[in-house]
Amino acid sequence: MGEIKTISVLVTGGEATAGQPLGPALGPLGVNVLAIVNEINRITGDFKGMRVPVKVEVDTETKKFTVTVGTPTTSALIVKEAGIAKGSGKPNLDFVGNVSFDKVLGIAKIKINDSYAGSIKSSIKEVVGSCVSLGVKVENEDPRLFMKQVEEGKWDKAIVAFEAK
């Protein structure tokens, strides 16, 4: 086995190309850049339009490669679920979108392994915190009010039902 070279990049899901940043990083390693790009696009297809962290490991001797894909940022997932182009420039004043509690739960479940949250409830609070900074309502509520509801236990039954699935 040869030396393992690792290239870490951010790509737009399903839209990686042999150009920047992949081509120049992979080209000198003598690998089939197009095969790697195609594999990245296959794996990141579910994250269309979102920035996704990708790690490519190449064995410099055998030219074999592995592609590992992380998850998009919490903000990118919220923007996608809210169906908005981007967050609010004035998140405390202007709300630009709304997400359902089910969407927040789904994002919390995706992100829990990447976070310091010890429970799904903590992960939900992290997601709602991102909604605050993006100016996105949760269940048509100001996310700060929704956060209080979560802390007061008003959503505990829904969380327990979700965890039982």
Backbone angles phi, psi at 88, to 5 degrees: -75, 145
Whether residue 89 is found in the same domain as residue 58: no
| pTM above threshold 0.85 | no
pLDDT at 67: 94
Whether residue 147 is found in the same domain as residue 84: yes
DSSP secondary structure string, 61-120? TT--EEEEE-PPPHHHHHHHHHT-SS--SSTTT---EEE-HHHHHHHHHHHGGGSS-SSH
Distance (Å) of CA 51 to CA 24, 144, 162: 19, 27, 27
- The mean pLDDT of 82-101, rounded to a whole number, is 92
Structural domain boundaries enclosing 146: 74-164
Q: How far is C-alpha 164 from the geometric centre of its chain's CA atoms?
A: 24
Whether residue 125 is found in the same domain as residue 154: yes
Whether residue 85 is found in the same domain as residue 154: yes
pLDDT tens track for 139-156: 999 999 999 999 999 999
Q: How many domains does the chain have?
A: 2
Whether residue 82 is found in the same domain as residue 153: yes
pLDDT tens track for 116-125: 888 999 999 9
Q: The domain that contains 103 carries what CATH number?
A: 1.10.10.250
Whether residue 84 is found in the same domain as residue 147: yes
Domain boundary among 69, 101, 121: 69
